[in-house]
Chain A
Amino acid sequence: MRAALFVTCVNDALYPRTGIAVVRLLERLGVGVDFPAAQSCCGQPQYNTGYRYETEPLMRRTARAFAKHAYVVTPSGSCAAMIREHYPRIGRKAAAEGRGSELADAAAALAPRVYELTEFLVDVLGVTDVGAYFPHTVTYHPSCHGLRGLGLGDRPRRLLAEVKGLDLVELPGAEECCGFGGTFAVKNPDVSTAMGTDKITAAAGTGAQVLCGADNSCLAHLDGLLRRADSPMRALHLAEILAATEGEPLP
């Protein structure tokens, strides 16, 4: 089986380790990985801030970049939700504005082939034990778009529960938003910080060494708060934990 990796712009520039982890993980599970170089940002920051017209070219580019792949895998719930939920919406709006069905068609062709990483692992590959080894105490924050947008449910936690050596502890108030919210983090910094601080406080209370998530933008916000507070806890993407093995531990 082959799958295309949609690494997302945030991971590409700031968290390449997450992308590398996905490649290592999928290859270990026998999936051949392609990385279409024409890919870029899905347009989520533009769309969510109110710039729908700036989103459209990026949407076209994304649809074109992955036109040939039966499976497009991305380690970001919010980017997957953007493509699956909002691309069709943007397409419909363009059509309603009399600009034809091209965008709607592109969305319809791409959306059903896009999988968030844990969906791909659990639903497509049918695995929860990916052979990972990570001897640490971990708590999991399910980001909103994965949780409510995609309905990932307990897939991430099932994957974590099978990791050898990993002690998974429940995060109180896990389903609450961390306060990142894209440009919300800078448009409403006080509320955003208050929400994130409550989240890292709850995480610290679990005694976990690692705060795990499946969306690096939420993790950037939480990690930024953890480091500013000189906390010993680290924020880590799920893919990096799943990629770690006894032979090849987390770099």
Chain B
Amino acid sequence: MSGTYLGMPPFPAAAREAVRDEVLRGNLRRATHTIRDKRARAVAELADWDRLRAAGKAVKDHTLRHLDHYLLQLEEAVTAAGGTVHWAADADEANRIVTELVRATGEREVVKVKSMATQEIGLNEALEAAGIAAYETDLAELIVQLGHDRPSHILVPAIHRNRAEIRDIFRAEMGDWGRPAPASLGDDPRELAEAARLHLREKFLRAKVAVSGANFMVAETGTMVVLESEGNGRMCLTLPETLISVVGIEKVVPTFRDLEIFLQTLPRSSTAERMNPYTTMWTGVTDGDGPAAFHLVLLDNGRTDTLADETGRQALRCIRCSACLNVCPVYERAGGHAYGSVYPGPIGAILSPQLRGTGSEIDASLPYASTLCGACYEVCPVAIDIPEVLVHLRERVAQGGPVTRDGIRVTLRPADGHTAERAAMRAARLLLDHPGALRAGERLLARARRLAPRRLPGAGRAWTDSRELPTVAAQSFRDWWARERSTPR
């Protein structure tokens, strides 16, 4: 995945900063609570939501099981419709392919439709290094790009920013990239949107090359589908001469009819809308209409390795609706940046350590960035059991185990830094598995209870820094029972 996040501190350290940032927490709280309430209402309107959810899960599972078949079918259909298909094993290869394609057009700039896949591979940075400017055209993505910032949400990458911050960014930065913001720009949403519209219009009309991702790829017809709310994506998908789409291989669905399910579940889950405002579909190229050249770059980048894991593969069902982020109490406090990836929140916590491996500190800490409260599973429109995958990945970090890396089955050793924890877990288990010893331990604890310090050293400090310890009871339940009930009354 992208090198943007190399050297990220582990989640707890990154989250500490965010928790203390009152403005950030306020922004996040407002935004996530508004959308989560709206989503709940939009979903409650459909009597067959559970069946749609089950159907979405089934279609995705079926496709993933026969992914090779559907990808080949897709390639055939796209090619027959006049497009060209490229296969990219990893981020570097995908970036190289796109850079070459842009170079071949002779252009030095591209307009971009908001896309997670291109962020995942760090495409903008790669293009910049090759002397090609990539302009984000999604409003929130534009805010992030102008602010030299990183996205913090799948759907609303600038969710961590409030209106005043956005006004300041527009005023200070727009001029360096194109049409400047009016000097009198205020922080009214309408004014901000208008400034962005004028700034972007210039780019749409000039650009010869566009880069996009896709929400779905239909294998039988070779149709690409993008859902968005602003219409800016549609401008990019229809105006330029060349269109390059970078799409993760898990985005394929078998038939056009399958879209029926996701076009109902995705908008309601993500923006709480009954129907998506702009749904653009294109199938290869058509003379005199839309781009004259279409390239599809199919991205693996850790996906087939993820597919090899029986429990973890369900993460590939994700349709990036971001509902799980919006209900996650940890995301709400820690913010998106703490997850050290373009995929924040619960889905990020299970996707990143699978796509990137658990080798880095941040990736090894992500499976623990959850209380396993289950709110994410409850809202997920394709029923990804995120808590189950989190526990599965914790096991990988704490105990090691078999994984597939670059198509090869290897056995991971436990991650560093878990030695003390492992010893403690083992000691606790030994004690708990010997009720006699446990009872003796409880008595010792009860006798020492008056000595209990208010603050503990070492690992215990994490508890006592902010919370009182529970008071140890004078006698355990076991002892009470032995005294009161073991002899029949």
Contacts and interface: CB of A to CB of B under 8 A. Distances in A.
B43 to A, nearest CB: 15
Nearest to A148: B374
Contact of B445 (A13, A185, A196): A13
A13 B476 contact: yes
Contacts of A53: 399
A2 interface: no
Nearest to A193: B466
Most buried by A among B371, B375, B378: B371
Interface of A: 7, 9, 11-17, 19-20, 23, 33, 35, 37-41, 43, 45-55, 57-58, 61, 89, 96, 144-145, 148-149, 175-177, 179-196, 220-221, 223-225, 227-228
Interface in B424-478: 425-426, 428-429, 432-433, 435, 438, 442, 445, 459-460, 462-463, 465-473, 475-478
B469 A12 contact: no
B480 A50 contact: no
Nearest to A216: B470
Contact of A221 (B395, B445, B467, B472): B467
Nearest to B310: A96
A225 B466 contact: yes
A177 B466 contact: no
B28 to A, nearest CB: 11
A20 B466 CA distance: 30
Contact of A50 (B370, B395, B485): B395
Most buried by A among B20, B429, B472, B479: B429
B462 A187 contact: yes
A41 B463 CA distance: 21
Interface in B8-26: 11-12, 15-16, 19-20, 25
Contacts of B368: 183-184, 187-188
Contact of A17 (B11, B369, B473): B473
Interface residues of B, number: 65
B312 interface: no
Give 5 nearest A-B pairs by CB, closest first.
A181-B371, A224-B467, A50-B394, A50-B398, A177-B373
14 contacts: A14-B470, A14-B473, A23-B485, A50-B395, A144-B372, A176-B375, A186-B463, A187-B12, A188-B368, A191-B19, A191-B330, A194-B25, A195-B329, A221-B467
Contacts of B475: 16
Contacts, number: 186
Contacts of A45: 425, 428
B481 interface: yes
A230 to B, nearest CB: 10
Contacts of B438: 9, 40
Chain B contact residues: helix, strand, loop or mixed: helix
Given A13-B473, A49-B398, A188 B372 contact: no
A144 B371 contact: yes
Given A144-B373, A223-B468, A16 B391 contact: no
B333 interface: yes
Nearest to B402: A97
Contacts of B367: 50
B370 A47 contact: no
B64 to A, nearest CB: 19
Interface in B50-83: none
Contacts of B11: 188
A192 B465 CA distance: 12
Given A149-B374, A176-B329, A191-B12, 7 more contacts: A12-B476, A19-B480, A43-B429, A50-B391, A96-B310, A148-B373, A220-B470
A38 B435 contact: yes
Contacts of A20: 477, 480
B187 interface: no
Most buried by B among A15, A49, A53, A191: A191
B149 interface: no
B397 interface: yes
A181 B372 contact: yes
Nearest to A199: B329
